[in-house]
Each structure stands twice: as structure tokens, then as C-alpha cells.
């Protein structure tokens, strides 16, 4: 009997524990969804950073590739110009050499003529070669002979001297052209070595670039996958929040002014004229410089934190329980994510002009059971 009672107590305790655990289940599921979302977002951020680093590397390598290509084109132009100059100079050298050959032939001819003339001026007398001047019989004959000899000799010597001077000039010009040709050949050699240097540099950069591009494609695929996972986790989280009906009771307390450093309102809640049309303005507009802090007007859970194509741009919605929500639109950047529990005064975003906006300002709304209310009376004193 005593055993049976003990069993009843134990069974009751076990059942109680099971019930507590079971009732606690939805909370842990929500926590899991939030954890899933956060880790998916972290993974996405990590890949985004990696991708941005790869893009930087790629850009740098593309610049290097462009530089190498520019250098190669430059060298190519230089080489083509050098080849033209070398061809022209070689032609000039050949011309000069032909000129020199002609001149040498002239000199040889003149020299031979001169020698044969000299030979003619001598006659054989008594078995010896004697100058014609010495072979004459009268003094007057001798004078004439000497004068003739002298003038012939002078004219031929002058001609030979002139020819030799011209030959020397041609040789000097030839030497100049030869040294110019050597300079051009040296310059060509330098450009050729540069050409092979830049070609191997380009090959190296191309290799690196193709590796980087492969890394980029892999990272892009990983990014797409991580983004899909993040979006799925966000959707799951939003679904769970929607299903739970948001926070049970209103968090209570006052509503804080959402842009602590700027109090001016450029557009109030209610009807306003826009380009002659009457339009209902669903919140208040608070202008502030780009990136000014926006705070949570009250504590709550972030239920939306993303870009809306509807016109709100980057916007945040916070659920404050009891059917109350606040909305912060046109943000430059967001500082919280879906599922975050934020305390009143936490910096949740930064002023911007995203979406349908003509300048930096916060469009702030308070909603009660899905409908907007005039937020001004709520926040004006806080
Ligand atoms: Zn507005």
C-alpha cells in the first residue's frame, strides 16, 4: 500500500515536469528561430566582407593588368619606330658606302693618271730616267719644260688633295651613321628586354586575376546561398512573431522623441497639400543631417528591419505590445535586426533619405491596432 502511494506521487511529479517543459516549448522554438536568423545573418555578413575583399583585390589586379598592357603597347610602338629608323639608317649607310667606293675609285684613277703623267715627263737618256726639264738642250726649252712640269704637278696634287678630303668627309659621315645605327640597335635591345619583362608580368597578373575571378564566383555562389538562408530564417521569424500576436501587453511608460538632437517638425500628421493634391500624412517628419541617431521611442521587439520599395526606404517597425507599433522610415542605415529586443532610447537606425524622400529626415509613425495615430501628442514632451 505504502509503495502504491509513493508511485502516485512520483507519477504526478513526472507529469508536472512534462507539462512545464511542454508549455515552455513555444518560447524555445521562437528563441531557436531568432538564433537561426542571427547566425544566418552573421554568415551573410562574413561572406559579404570576404566578397568585398575579393573585389578590392580584383580591382587592383585589373589595374595592374591595364598598366602592363599599356606598357606593352608603348614598347611595341617604340620598337616599330626603332625598326623604321634602323631600316632608314641602314639604307643611308649603304648609300654612304657606295659613295665612298666611288670616291676611292676616283682617287685610284686620278692617282694612276698622275703617275703615268709623271712617267711621261721622264725620258730615257744614256740608260737613266731623266726629267724632261733636264733633257732639253737650251735654257729657254728648259724653262718651258720646268713650268709645264710644275703646273701639271700642282693641278694633279690639288685634285688628289681635294679627292682625299672628300673621302675623309665621307668616312666621317659613315662613322657617324654607324654609331647612330649602334645606338638604335642598343635601344631596340633595351625595348625588347622590356617587352619580354612586361609580357611575363602580364602573364603573371592574368594568372592571378583568373584565380581571383574563380574565388569571386565561389564567394558569389556562397553569398546567394547564405542570403537565401537568411531570408528564409527572417521569414520564419516574422511568421512566428505574427502567429504569437506580438507582445502580450503594452510595455508601458512614456514615448520618447525619436531624434534626440533634432526637434523641428517639417510636416505634421494629417492632411497636407502636395503639388495641389490633398494627401494624408501618416506620421511626422523630423529633418536632421544624414546619419543622425534615431532611437527607439519605447521598448519592444523589432518586427521589420529592411528596405521597402513602397516608398518608406530603409525602415524599422517595433512592436511595443498591446497593439502598439512604431515605424521609422527613410533611414540611411539600420542598426537592429528582426527579432531584436530593444530598450527605449537604444539607437536603432540613422537618418537618411532612402525611398520616396526629398531630403534627410525621419518619418515617424505610431500605430495602434494597425491604424496610424497622431504621434505628436505622445512624444512632444519627452
Ligand atoms: Zn513623412
Higher pLDDT, 299 or 177: 177
Measured in Å, residue 231 CA sits from the centre of ligand 1 at 28
Can you give the three-state secondary structure of 246-296, one letter per residue? Answer: CCCCCCCCCCCCCCCCCCCCCECCEEEEECCEEEEECCEEEECCCCCEEEC
**Spatial contact of 266 and 286, defined as CB atoms under 8 Å apart:** yes
Measured in Å, residue 241 CA sits from the centre of ligand 1 at 27
Residue 231 lies in a domain: no
Instruction: Point out which residues pair with 252 in neighbouring strands.
Output: none
Q: Average pLDDT in the 35-59 region?
A: 90
Residue 108 lies in a domain: yes
Domain limit, last residue, from 177, 196, 215 = 215
pLDDT score for 58: 97
**Nearest one of 249, 242, 244, 255 to 321, comparing CA atoms:** 249
Q: How far apart are CA 56 and CA 68, in angstroms?
A: 18
pLDDT in tens, 281-333: 999 999 999 999 999 999 888 989 988 877 899 999 999 988 899 999 999 99
Whether 201 and 99 share a structural domain = yes
CA 343 vs CA 220, 235, 264: distances in Å: 36, 23, 24
Domain limit, last residue, from 199, 215, 231 = 215
pLDDT score for 26: 36
Weakest-pLDDT range from 34-43, 82-91, 194-203, 226-235: 34-43
Residue 200 lies in a domain: yes
Whether 117 and 192 share a structural domain = yes
Residue 29 lies in a domain: no
Measured in Å, residue 108 CA sits from the centre of ligand 1 at 108
Measured in Å, residue 369 CA sits from the centre of ligand 1 at 20
Domain limit, last residue, from 215, 236, 252 = 215
Per-residue pLDDT band at 179 (split at 50, 70, 90): very high
Helix (H) / strand (E) containing 305: strand 300-308
Measured in Å, residue 328 CA sits from the centre of ligand 1 at 10
pLDDT score for 273: 76
Whether 188 and 123 share a structural domain = yes
pLDDT score for 24: 35
Whether 85 and 195 share a structural domain = yes
Residue 141 lies in a domain: yes
Within a 10 A sphere around the Cβ of 120, how many other Cβ atoms?
10
- What range does the domain containing 283 cover? 270-379
pLDDT score for 118: 78
Measured in Å, residue 67 CA sits from the centre of ligand 1 at 50
Whether 196 and 305 share a structural domain = no
Whether 281 and 185 share a structural domain = no
Q: How far apart are CA 131 and CA 118, in angstroms?
A: 9
Weakest-pLDDT range from 9-13, 92-96, 316-320: 9-13
Measured in Å, residue 364 CA sits from the centre of ligand 1 at 7
Helix (H) / strand (E) containing 71: helix 2-121
pLDDT score for 43: 92
For residue 121, pLDDT beyond 90: no
Q: Average pLDDT in the 152-161 region?
A: 85
**Nearest one of 148, 150, 336 to 234, comparing CA atoms:** 336
Measured in Å, residue 356 CA sits from the centre of ligand 1 at 9
Task: Look at the chain and report how many structural domains it folds into.
Answer: 2
For residue 21, pLDDT beyond 50: no
Measured in Å, residue 124 CA sits from the centre of ligand 1 at 134
Residue 277 lies in a domain: yes
The secondary structure of residue 316, as a DSSP letter, is E
Residue 251 lies in a domain: no
Listed residues: CB within 5 A of ion ligand 1: 285, 363
pLDDT in tens, 192-216: 999 999 999 999 999 999 999 999 9
Measured in Å, residue 180 CA sits from the centre of ligand 1 at 79
Residue 20 lies in a domain: no
Whether 195 and 87 share a structural domain = yes
Measured in Å, residue 295 CA sits from the centre of ligand 1 at 17
**Spatial contact of 188 and 86, defined as CB atoms under 8 Å apart:** yes
Measured in Å, residue 301 CA sits from the centre of ligand 1 at 23
pLDDT score for 2: 52
Amino acid at each position: 500500500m505504502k509503495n502504491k502511494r509513493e508511485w502516485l506521487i512520483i507519477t504526478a511529479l513526472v507529469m508536472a515536469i512534462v507539462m512545464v517543459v511542454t508549455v515552455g516549448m513555444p518560447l524555445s522554438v521562437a528563441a531557436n528561430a531568432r538564433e537561426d536568423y542571427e547566425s544566418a545573418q552573421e554568415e551573410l555578413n562574413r561572406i559579404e566582407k570576404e566578397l568585398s575583399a575579393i573585389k578590392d583585390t580584383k580591382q587592383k589586379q585589373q589595374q595592374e593588368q591595364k598598366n602592363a598592357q599599356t606598357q606593352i603597347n608603348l614598347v611595341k610602338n617604340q620598337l616599330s619606330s626603332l625598326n623604321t629608323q634602323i631600316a632608314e639608317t641602314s639604307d643611308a649607310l649603304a648609300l654612304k658606302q657606295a659613295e665612298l667606293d666611288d670616291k676611292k675609285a676616283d682617287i685610284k684613277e686620278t692617282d694612276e693618271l698622275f703617275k703615268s703623267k709623271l712617267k711621261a715627263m721622264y725620258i730615257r737618256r744614256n740608260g737613266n730616267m731623266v726629267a724632261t726639264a733636264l733633257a732639253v738642250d737650251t735654257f729657254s726649252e728648259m724653262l718651258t719644260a720646268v713650268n709645264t712640269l710644275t703646273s701639271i704637278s700642282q693641278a694633279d696634287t690639288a685634285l688628289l688633295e681635294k679627292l682625299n678630303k672628300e673621302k675623309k668627309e665621307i668616312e666621317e659621315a659613315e662613322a657617324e651613321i654607324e654609331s647612330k645605327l649602334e645606338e638604335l640597335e642598343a635601344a631596340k635591345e633595351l625595348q625588347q628586354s622590356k617587352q619580354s619583362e612586361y609580357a611575363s608580368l602580364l602573364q603573371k597578373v592574368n594568372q592571378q586575376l583568373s584565380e581571383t575571378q574563380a574565388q569571386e564566383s565561389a564567394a558569389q555562389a556562397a553569398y546567394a546561398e547564405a542570403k537565401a538562408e537568411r531570408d528564409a530564417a527572417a521569414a520564419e521569424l516574422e511568421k512566428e512573431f505574427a502567429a504569437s500576436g506580438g507582445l502580450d501587453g503594452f510595455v508601458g511608460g512614456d514615448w520618447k522623441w525619436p531624434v534626440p538632437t533634432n526637434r523641428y517638425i517639417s510636416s505634421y500628421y494629417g492632411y497636407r497639400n502636395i503639388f495641389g493634391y490633398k494627401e494624408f500624412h501618416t506620421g511626422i517628419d523630423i529633418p536632421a543631417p544624414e546619419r543622425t541617431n534615431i532611437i527607439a521611442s519605447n521598448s519592444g521587439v523589432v518586427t521589420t528591419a529592411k528596405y521597402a520599395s513602397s516608398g518608406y526606404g530603409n525602415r524599422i517597425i517595433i512592436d511595443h505590445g498591446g497593439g502598439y507599433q512604431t515605424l521609422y522610415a527613410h533611414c540611411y542605415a539600420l542598426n537592429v535586426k528582426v527579432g531584436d529586443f530593444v530598450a527605449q532610447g537604444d539607437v536603432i537606425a540613422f537618418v537618411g533619405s532612402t525611398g520616396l524622400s526629398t531630403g534627410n529626415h525621419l518619418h515617424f509613425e505610431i500605430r495602434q491596432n494597425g491604424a496610424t495615430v497622431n504621434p505628436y501628442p505622445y512624444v512632444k514632451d519627452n
